Structure 1
Amino acid sequence: MEQTPPPSPVPASAVPKIRIRGLYKSFGNKHVLNGVDLDVPAGTSFVIIGGSGTGKSVLLRCILGLITPDAGTIEIDGKNVLSASRREREVILGEIGMLFQNGALFDSLTVWENVAFGLLAPEARRHSDAHPRLTRAQARVRAGEILAQVGLDASVGDLSPSELSGGMQKRVGLARAIADRPDILFFDEPTTGLDPIMGAVIDGLIVDCVKRLGSTAIAITHDMASAQRIGDEAAMLYQGKLVWQGPASSLMNSGNPLVDQFTHGRREGPITMELRR
């Protein structure tokens, strides 16, 4: 009898960098995530859009392990983060860099100490030949190199965050996010609070950094110009689900009534403002 050959192994490139299935999260009676399914291929810059309160930040916080979802799976490189041991989870999440919406710089630290924070915190990062533990002197030099990558002079490292403009704080936040050369980068509203020109500058730096590192990126934003500048793929989150996904270049002409209303800022359409009670 002729035997059926075993199935060919799935090539590593076919395994999404991030794979989410059936993700649910509620806070009391408010259902924020309502069965999110998402695949983000390695090396892709993925943008998630959606109105305020639709769950974009909650989704990122679930992936980061800051919030525990009620149900579902989150896989990074094929490993389920939610069922991993604490040590395994630390290693997996140690591959992620994050640019927070408001920079989230530590006021008590100088700029260079903010940039090098992950490099100097052994409990927060994995250390290997590729990511060795650094002395303070080495970390300071490294911070200066990274500041240069985001268009800031190394002398800025001696300043405190309060001495920086909003655009400079964003750059420092980006420098901190890329300091340990992460495989995955998250951007939470990267252009919030910036004028259009500075927003374009930050977007350009994000694109350059992601390409230089070869990282996979996820950004959440309300800024449609930013979404199209930094995204390869995009999706819209509405009522706790992804209702559309496609090329970021198609955001303004998606053909989806929900997406079209949101991206063009139309008052009339299927999206209605919910009254708070």
Structure 2
Amino acid sequence: MTTPRIRIRGLKKSFGPKVVLDGIDLDVQAGTSMVIIGGSGSGKSVLLRCILGIILPDEGTIEIDGEDILRASPMRQEELRRKIGMLFQNAALFDSMTVFDNILFGLKAKSSLHPRRDRHKLKQEALRLLSQVGLDESVAALSPSELSGGMQKRVGLARAIAGQPDILFFDEPTTGLDPIMGAIIDGLIVDCVKKLGSTAIAITHDMASAQRIGNQAAMLYKGKLIWQGLAQDLLHSNNDIVDQFTHGRKEGPINVETHPTL
């Protein structure tokens, strides 16, 4: 079998007494779009942040192309993580920068182009990325605060794909968007992933988005991956927990704590 683009084994992370990740095993093959679903607080974002190095796990291994990034030197970790592009929840654009400078930031971090020597090439590439996500170059001079939520997501996507990363992460890509704009963003994500030939991991609780983006899927529940399969099977998984979650049923094995409104 070919080496997975991403291989995770025995990953654990706790915050005090709260166990968030409890022995995660996951393989993501090159070219796969993996969607990870789960309720709020299930550990989806913590899992991505462990892979990115933002959070240090308590135990386990995280391999990229067969190399454990947790045990690599700091310089090698940086090299491996340059393979990754990230679309953060709510886009996470730099408010003090224009749209153009936000995209340049992504290009400078991951591209081999030199900031001064290749300034013209960087500018042209930034404008090409804007066009790829459906935005006119007139948007480049605007600040993030002048953009709608959908436009901010597009700029965030343009920054994520800067430098043509081998791996793309999407953290709740449709949060805060209406259904039509959510479908548009999902379509752009799918197009960008296909054009780059990248491996993608998206985390979401939006079932429509999960099936549009992913070809593989998994569900996190109480710190464990309780189901893995085809994204097209999410709504008929034959797993009681997955079925309750994906269909939004009140009754079932998932007990949601509710509190009376004061």
Q: How high is the TM-score relative to the length of structure 1?
A: 0.90
CA separation in 2, counterparts of 1:22 and 1:112? 41
2:246 equivalent to 1:258: no
The structure 1 residue matched to 2:46, chosen from 54, 58, 75, is 58
Identity %: 70
Q: CA deviation at 1:115?
A: 1.0
2:25 equivalent to 1:37: yes
Residue number in structure 2 paired with 1:155:
138
CA separation in 1, counterparts of 2:19 and 2:229? 25
Q: Which amino acid aligns with 1:44?
A: T
Q: CA deviation at 1:137?
A: 3.4
Query: Across the two proteins, how many residue pairs are aligned to each other?
Result: 257
Report 1:154-233 matches (<5 A): 154-233=137-216
Residue number in structure 1 paired with 2:128:
145
CA contact (8 A) 2:107 2:159 kept: no
Taking only aligned residues, the RMSD between alpha carbons, in angstroms, comes to 1.3
2:84 equivalent to 1:96: yes
CA contact (8 A) 1:118 1:180 kept: yes
Q: CA deviation at 1:140?
A: 2.1
CA contact (8 A) 2:6 2:63 kept: yes
CA separation in 2, counterparts of 1:99 and 1:56? 14
Q: CA deviation at 1:274?
A: 4.5
CA separation in 1, counterparts of 2:13 and 2:154? 32
Q: CA deviation at 1:273?
A: 1.8
Q: Secondary structure at the match of 2:106?
A: coil
2:65 equivalent to 1:84: no
Q: How high is the TM-score relative to the length of structure 2?
A: 0.95
Q: CA deviation at 1:150?
A: 0.3
Q: CA deviation at 1:74?
A: 0.3
Residue number in structure 1 paired with 2:231:
248
CA separation in 1, counterparts of 2:114 and 2:225? 40
CA separation in 1, counterparts of 2:28 and 2:241? 22
2:10 equivalent to 1:22: yes
Q: CA deviation at 1:167?
A: 0.3
Q: Which amino acid aligns with 2:38?
A: G
Q: CA deviation at 1:119?
A: 2.1
The structure 2 residue matched to 1:75, chosen from 63, 83, 87, is 63
Residue number in structure 2 paired with 1:4:
none
Q: Secondary structure at the match of 1:133?
A: coil
User: Which sections of structure 2, spanning at least 5 residues, go unmatched?
Assistant: none
